[in-house]
Structure 1
Amino acid sequence: MTTVQSSARKTLVLAAVLTAGVALHLVLLAGRAVALLRSGEPVGVALGAGVLILPVLGAWMVVSTWLSGIRVARLTQRLAAEGGLPDVSDLPRRPSGRVEPDAADAYFAERKAEVEASPRDWRAWYRVAHAYDLAGDRRRAREAMKRAVALEAEERAGR
């Protein structure tokens, strides 16, 4: 098993454990909501209805997060099979393990140029998402990865 596979397996186990914890919390919260709804008191019913929204929203967030993770994992596997995963092992790092900011910026500039040269290539968007992540811009990393997922889905549908 490679280091990447081992890391992915550990991440999957951690995600499953955290999901189980959240699911338990949502079930307990839903139980409280039902108890409030059954109270028959106007305030209890109103609070119960409000509290019942939280587990529904929580379940939607958990499902959408898992679906997103599955889609990104599919892209990662496909890119790995093609030998196109980003390799940043040669970039200088801080003692914390984070890539030096100047190196991350230079790496990002290269990935951005790839996207500008091939704006419909999901692989370029995947790599620019990785570059955003290295630079610490998680919001843009998520946006770029969503773009990569959408482009890859279009590519698969076009086959």
Structure 2
Amino acid sequence: MVYFVLLGRQGIELIQMGGVGPIGMGIGVLILPFLGIWITWSTLRAGVRHQQLARRMHEEGLELDVADLPKMPSGRVERGAADELFAQVKSEWEVDPDNWRSNYRLARAYDYAGDRRRARDIMRRAVALEERERSHETH
């Protein structure tokens, strides 16, 4: 809270100085905390949703099992094994691309294969599909 008060006061002081530069900086200083809160909230919300999907997948016995795959010293799945896993999961996904479970598994496979950007994109899709499925169950 102290952080917001200090930033708010600094932003107001900059705006009161007048001039294009200080006013622009003051507005930016006032906006940044809200942007930070929104980014933090979005990240935490996504993490909670991903955990909920992971729990459901585990309960349904559908989580990807990588326990027996060869791993590098860092603990990551070796590239070749991750690529094989990805190919298998992608073929499963192609059969049912509108199922949140197949999207979740594909996102995890992308993650194991090292493609974080696509993993995030597909996981967002899995979350949206699961929310849609849940809303249809309640109606």
TM-score (norm 2): 0.87
Report the residue type matching 2:76 in the other structure.
R
The root-mean-square deviation of aligned C-alpha atoms, in Å, is 1.8
Query: What is the aligned partner in structure 1 of residue 107 from structure 2?
Result: 129
Q: Which of these residues, 58, 71, 93, is aligned with residue 115 of structure 1?
A: 93
Q: 1:72 aligns with which of 22, 31, 50?
A: 50
- How many residues were matched structurally? 134
Contact 1:123 1:148 in 2 (8 A): yes
21, 26, 35: which one aligns with 2:10: 35
Summarize the alignment of residues 138-157 of structure 1 with structure 2, pairs less than 5 Å apart: 138-157=116-135
**More relative contact order in 1 or in 2 (CA 8 Å, sep 6+)?**
2
Aligned equivalents of 1:140, 1:118: Cα separation in 2:
18
Q: CA–CA distance in 1 between the matches of 2:13 and 2:73?
A: 56
1:126 and 1:144 in contact (8 A); partners too: yes
Q: What stretches of structure 1 move > 6 A for 4+ residues in a row?
A: none
Structure index of larger Rg? 2
- In structure 2, stretches of 5+ residues that fail to align are none
Aligned-partner residue type, residue 34 of structure 1: R
| Identical residues among aligned pairs (%) | 48
| TM-score normalized by the length of structure 1 | 0.77
Unpaired runs of at least 5, structure 1:
1-23
